[in-house]
Structure 1
Amino acid sequence: MDFKEDFLHSVWKYQYFDKNGLQTTSGEPLTIRKIGFHNFHEGPDFLEAHIQLGEVAYFGHVEVHRKSSDWKNHDHDADPRYNSVVLHVVYEDDKAILRKDGTLIPTLVLKGRILLDVVRNYERLIAGKGDLLCNNGLQNVPEIIRFSALEKALVERLEIKSSRVLKILEETNSDWEETCFRWLLIGFGFKTNAEAMERLGKLLDFKTLKKHSSNPLVIQALLLGQAGLIPERPEDEYGKILKREHDFYQQKYTWPIPMHVAEWKFMGVRPANFPTIRLVQLAEVIRKNPNLLGSLLHDSADFKALKRLFSIQVPEYWRHHHQVDKTAVKPMSSALSSMTFNLLLINFVVPIWFAYGKYLQDSTLQERCFDLLQAMNAEENYIIRKFRNSDWIPQNAFDAQGMLGMYHNYCHQKRCLDCKVGQNLLKPALK
């Protein structure tokens, strides 16, 4: 039988083996009182287990391996965290493992004991084709299990994003307004220019930009200038004004040297998504919402309020130019597209709410994230289409974001047995 160690973790966790007449390799009768808590971090696989060997009770940890010799192969003998292991669970016993004091670590061999249904279900699961190994069995998974899997993956996805927000909060010395601005920059970079936008956020500050909220031209000049997106010698009058304004205020505020235009990605990007256009749109958002964080937390409780937050019109110049001095082939929209708006809600608003709720230990803000996502339409991309092709149709953005989390953290990494769908497909049939 070919399997990974995580299969044995599941076998132990759900006790998918014959427990009649259990004994260790040394012949001691074994009774399992408590399997322990699955440890997903460094250290023994299951913590705080309770077993009984003969008449003696033992409390400690459980370590699981394919072969007992993996104990030394993984250098557990040199790690003091494994001194409290009371049971070594293996598929095959090929070597006696001793503690530092020379005593034998009790070992349970699972070979020949794993339930046949479970073995067959596992083999069927890993034999799946494509990126979703569970493709052929999805129709057999109850709806409640699938929803639970999506919910878990979504929460994990939001935890990852909110941890990035909280990292920025540390960098800004707990300045939530500055953090919100930097996260907005990253949001406006989307996937293509998110990293460049993050670097730009460290070359200016939101408090200074707010001072000029009544003059959008200055905000444009500061953003585009620090981004290195204003030519050294602009040819048209608008570009000359931007250049003059940036150079004056950069010197006044002693801001760092601007970025270089080469740090931005233009190739393969639609003009509407050029960093120049995104920064001009961002300037309008700042002009309209100088108290950005307050508006986001207190004036945007529903979808319509959020719509007003991002309801902007860029200056006429940018309807006909996608870069300074470069005329667009055809006029561009002066407002944010509905797709851009939805992506900003998902990638900017929701993580800020979730992170702020976590910071304040306020679950109502985090619940607001789920309510908003359930009220939004599901996005479309190549990953969502993989689920659609498996007849798993997202009903809203909540489902779609959960699917993205599942794909990146489970499906793509073949972590089927850590996923609730895979766990459901593994379990034996009811007798």
Structure 2
Amino acid sequence: MFKEDFLHYIWKFKRFKTQHLVTTNGETIQIVKVGVHNQDSGPDFFNAQLKIGNTTWAGNVEIHLKSSDWNTHLHQKDKAYDNVILHVVYEDNAEVKNTNNNLIPTLELKENIDLDLLHHYHKLIYSKNKIPCGNQLNKVTTFEFNNWLERLLLERLERKTILITNHLKQNKNNLDETFYHFLFKYFGLNVNAIPFEQLAQNTPLKIIEKHPQQISVEALLYGQAGFLNDDLNDEYFQRLKKEYAFLQAKFQLQAIDKVTWKFSKLRPSNFPTIRISQLAMLLKSHPRLFSKMLELKKDVKSIQQLFKTETSAYWLTHYQFGVEANSKPKKVGKTLLNNLIINVVAPFLFVYEKQHQQEKYIHLALQLLEQTPAEANSIITNWKALGIKSSNAAKTQALIELKNNYCTPKKCLSCYVGNKLLNSI
């Protein structure tokens, strides 16, 4: 069998025998306009134009696998469906009516669908390959595929925009505060993303703005992270502990539990203790990082340079409190920097453009992604095995969007490639 979206595709592109169509009651049907595909609630196609019998109708079209689905979905009680002029189904098994008790004309497509088309659709939908159409990608030109990727990149940025916008509402539309939260999340990478989010949530940015001195910012962050609860014989640790006690009492702060932080399987340079110091050094200079970023010259290098920070002096010889190590500078590495640009900087520039209608920020966001190296992960490896190579993060982000939101859920009918392959049959 198939899903309802296949019937949507069949109707939208008239991929069925359109001659000698009749309703289940024997009236002839001529399709003037199939209507506009509706992706939201309500009838599936708006503003269709059909000639049924001797009468030309303008209205909506609803599509189901079985006509009885109309009643299952309670459309007979929903006035939003009173303007439906045709019920298109694969199989007719029940008469349907609207809220006015008027019979809705029904078109059954079971005998009108090309079996070869259905066979190729099944091959895509039931493919066990990670990329269902992977062995047919050569049927789509490079130009067409790249155009589709450009659209997918914008879709991915739009998806991230929705997430950021929801957080903005919680933060009273404060972009700097929201940027601060996302910055912390991605500084934690996947392993410590949650505790870093909690740390930002429990430590309002305005406190850092009031106490921007290095010792205060580090004390605040390490204390709120739960790292200053021990009693170590370490001079710097004790200085931080004393400063945090003052700030905690002053602002009635609540620390998170130290046990939430993960160190195992991490490289020492990725230890949360190191990342917290890097964040502290970044914030002591520029608490309102997003605002600072907007002040910079609008080029990639200036933005990258802003985030190229390193730890305070203590952490040159430490990875954890009280445990000395060989002296080594600990700067934000290329991998983390690229991750921040992809997941924080570019999406926030996209959001800012949406709020202020300044198109130059979309161009800057895209430019940042185009000048950021391609990501390396299992999804990109799968694409590479199919001959799809990536030169930058703009392309890898688009390929991730394609894989996660089209290939994996088998939304081939919503994908340009899937449509191209089926339309060629």
TM-score by length of 2: 0.94
Counting only pairs closer than 5 Å after superposition, residues 145-160 of structure 1 correspond to structure 2 as 145-160=144-159
C-alpha distance in structure 1 between counterparts of 2:79 and 2:270, whole Å: 53
1:13–1:35 contact (8 Å) kept in structure 2: yes
C-alpha distance in structure 2 between counterparts of 1:179 and 1:188, whole Å: 14
C-alpha distance in structure 2 between counterparts of 1:199 and 1:420, whole Å: 40
Residue matched to 2:283: 286
Residue matched to 1:419: 415
**CA gap 1:326/1:425 in 2 versus in 1, 3 angstroms:** farther
> What do the CA deviations read for 1:118-175 (whole angstroms, capped 9, x no partner)?
2233133234332211111111112233223322322222122122222222222122
Shift of 1:305: 0.6
C-alpha distance in structure 2 between counterparts of 1:377 and 1:357, whole Å: 24
Residue matched to 1:383: 379
Residue matched to 2:184: 185
Residue matched to 1:69: 68
2:186–2:193 contact (8 Å) kept in structure 1: yes
> What do the CA deviations read for 1:45-79 (whole angstroms, capped 9, x no partner)?
22232222123232222111111122223333333
Counting only pairs closer than 5 Å after superposition, residues 262-281 of structure 1 correspond to structure 2 as 262-281=259-278
**CA gap 1:332/1:98 in 2 versus in 1, 3 angstroms:** farther
**CA gap 1:137/1:25 in 2 versus in 1, 3 angstroms:** same
Letter in 2 for 1:164: L
1:37–1:47 contact (8 Å) kept in structure 2: yes
Residue matched to 1:93: 92
Residue matched to 2:140: 141
1:397 aligns with 2:397: no
**CA gap 1:179/1:390 in 2 versus in 1, 3 angstroms:** same
Counting only pairs closer than 5 Å after superposition, residues 90-239 of structure 1 correspond to structure 2 as 90-213=89-212, 215-239=213-237
Residue matched to 2:294: 297
CA RMSD of aligned residues (A): 2.0
C-alpha distance in structure 2 between counterparts of 1:12 and 1:267, whole Å: 55
Structure 1: 5+ residue runs without aligned partners? none
C-alpha distance in structure 1 between counterparts of 2:155 and 2:128, whole Å: 26
C-alpha distance in structure 1 between counterparts of 2:241 and 2:222, whole Å: 9
1:121–1:426 contact (8 Å) kept in structure 2: yes
Letter in 1 for 2:290: L
**CA gap 1:254/1:120 in 2 versus in 1, 3 angstroms:** same
2:217–2:280 contact (8 Å) kept in structure 1: yes
Secondary structure of the structure 2 residue equivalent to 1:182: helix
TM-score by length of 1: 0.92
> What do the CA deviations read for 1:258-287 (whole angstroms, capped 9, x no partner)?
111123333433332222221111111112
1:306 aligns with 2:303: yes
Shift of 1:18: 1.5
C-alpha distance in structure 1 between counterparts of 2:232 and 2:163, whole Å: 37
| Count of matched residue positions in the alignment of Structure 1 and Structure 2 | 425
Letter in 2 for 1:83: D
**CA gap 1:321/1:98 in 2 versus in 1, 3 angstroms:** same
Q: Which moved more, 1:116-125 or 1:157-166?
A: 116-125
1:272–1:332 contact (8 Å) kept in structure 2: no
C-alpha distance in structure 2 between counterparts of 1:65 and 1:326, whole Å: 67
**CA gap 1:331/1:33 in 2 versus in 1, 3 angstroms:** farther
Shift of 1:209: 1.0
Q: Which moved more, 1:337-346 or 1:267-276?
A: 267-276
C-alpha distance in structure 1 between counterparts of 2:204 and 2:346, whole Å: 23
Shift of 1:117: 4.5
Residue matched to 2:16: 17
C-alpha distance in structure 2 between counterparts of 1:246 and 1:25, whole Å: 77
Letter in 2 for 1:119: L
1:230–1:324 contact (8 Å) kept in structure 2: no
**Equivalent position to 1:244, from 236, 242, 252:** 242
C-alpha distance in structure 2 between counterparts of 1:82 and 1:275, whole Å: 55
Shift of 1:378: 0.8
Letter in 2 for 1:269: L
Letter in 1 for 2:108: V
Shift of 1:230: 2.3
Secondary structure of the structure 1 residue equivalent to 2:2: coil
> What do the CA deviations read for 1:93-131 (whole angstroms, capped 9, x no partner)?
122222233322111111222234522331332343322
2:148–2:416 contact (8 Å) kept in structure 1: yes
Shift of 1:188: 1.3
Larger RCO, structure (CA 8 Å, separation 6 or more): 1
**CA gap 1:84/1:199 in 2 versus in 1, 3 angstroms:** farther
**CA gap 1:195/1:33 in 2 versus in 1, 3 angstroms:** farther
2:75–2:98 contact (8 Å) kept in structure 1: no
Letter in 1 for 2:295: H
1:121–1:427 contact (8 Å) kept in structure 2: no
C-alpha distance in structure 1 between counterparts of 2:143 and 2:344, whole Å: 29
C-alpha distance in structure 2 between counterparts of 1:332 and 1:50, whole Å: 73
Residue matched to 1:40: 39
1:346 aligns with 2:342: yes
C-alpha distance in structure 1 between counterparts of 2:84 and 2:261, whole Å: 53
**CA gap 1:277/1:300 in 2 versus in 1, 3 angstroms:** farther
1:316–1:334 contact (8 Å) kept in structure 2: no
**CA gap 1:323/1:83 in 2 versus in 1, 3 angstroms:** farther
C-alpha distance in structure 1 between counterparts of 2:12 and 2:354, whole Å: 30
C-alpha distance in structure 2 between counterparts of 1:406 and 1:203, whole Å: 36
Letter in 2 for 1:201: A
Secondary structure of the structure 2 residue equivalent to 1:66: strand
Residue matched to 1:80: 79
Structure 2: 5+ residue runs without aligned partners? none
> What do the CA deviations read for 1:284-307 (whole angstroms, capped 9, x no partner)?
111232442232123152221122
Secondary structure of the structure 2 residue equivalent to 1:190: coil
